[in-house]
Amino acid sequence: MSEPRESVHDVDVVVLTWNDGPLLARAVDSALAQVGVGIEVTVVDNGSDPPATVVSDPRVRLVRREENLGVGGGRNLGVAAGSASFVCVLDSDARLFPDALTRLIEPLLADPTIGCSAPVFTGQAPEASAGTAPTLADKARRVLNRTDVYRRTPGQGVGPWWTVDFAIGACQVFRREAFVAVGGIDASAAFGPEDVDFCLRLARVGWRTVQVADAGCDHPPRRAFRGLASARGVRHTTAVLRHLWRHRSTRREVAA
């Protein structure tokens, strides 16, 4: 009698692109190379000029919009195109190691209170991409290039995974049911911290976010902030202030 096959969990990978050129192909290829999980990739072209092209593979679909929907709107569109129980949102400049998604869904399978997981990016400290929910003072220090990390959460960096208030959206894996429970990613946050907002809204309804030690993923470290006085910089600052006001009580609850 043959041994029963280990069940393979399906993951929808959503890659958002806007004029990304060859970066997009590397991100998609890294998703298709995942082992231990079933993969479907949705590439959302957020109005690229010229339009984005994708590899010819039955596991890849391309959804194109003429207008740029922003990060939240584009990712919501990509999530809606799939049906798997687990979803990975992946930046076009990120690259997954072959077992990254297997590692990232392990906490979600082990603990039903965990709604979202994220990696420690290769060659970076855990607090470079996750930690305690930022305050206005934290954002000011980052804008002024006084720091390139977030404040650590208790136990961050200890064990195979640990709880954080948030993790950046360059690579996140979450339960579809958790995504639905909070109404998806904030589509109005075209210039704001939609990734922090998403994690804090998950926490508000009882879902935890964790960071995983050995889920290999390459992503460029934070660059120095420039252009504060530009139109985009002003919009980003406005969006951050709106976010901080929206979550003024949530941050206290998460801290408690």
- The total number of residues written for the chain in this structure: 256
- CA atoms within 13 A of residue 157's CA, in its CB half-sphere: 10
Q: What is Dmax (Cα atoms) for the chain?
A: 69
Q: What is the pTM of this model?
A: 0.85
The pLDDT value recorded for residue 236 is 47
Round to whole Å and give the CA distance between 157 and 160.
Answer: 8
pLDDT value of residue 109: 97
Through-space distance between the first and last CA atoms of the chain, rounded to whole angstroms: 53
User: How many Å apart are CA 148 and CA 121, to the nearest integer?
Assistant: 14
The string of pLDDT tens digits covering residues 89-104 is 999 999 999 999 999 9
Q: Would 72 be classed as within a structural domain?
A: yes
Report if residue 4 sits inside a domain. no
Confirm whether 3 is domain-assigned.
no
59 vs 148, more confident:
59
Query: Is there a domain that residue 196 lies in?
Result: yes
Q: Residue 30 is part of which domain span?
A: 9-255
Domain membership of residue 1 (yes or no) is no
Would residue 152 count as lying in a domain? yes
CA 146 – CA 189 distance, rounded (Å): 25
- The number of domains in the chain is 1
What is the arithmetic mean of pLDDT over 156-163? 97
Residue type, 74: G
- CATH code of the domain covering residue 88: 3.90.550.10
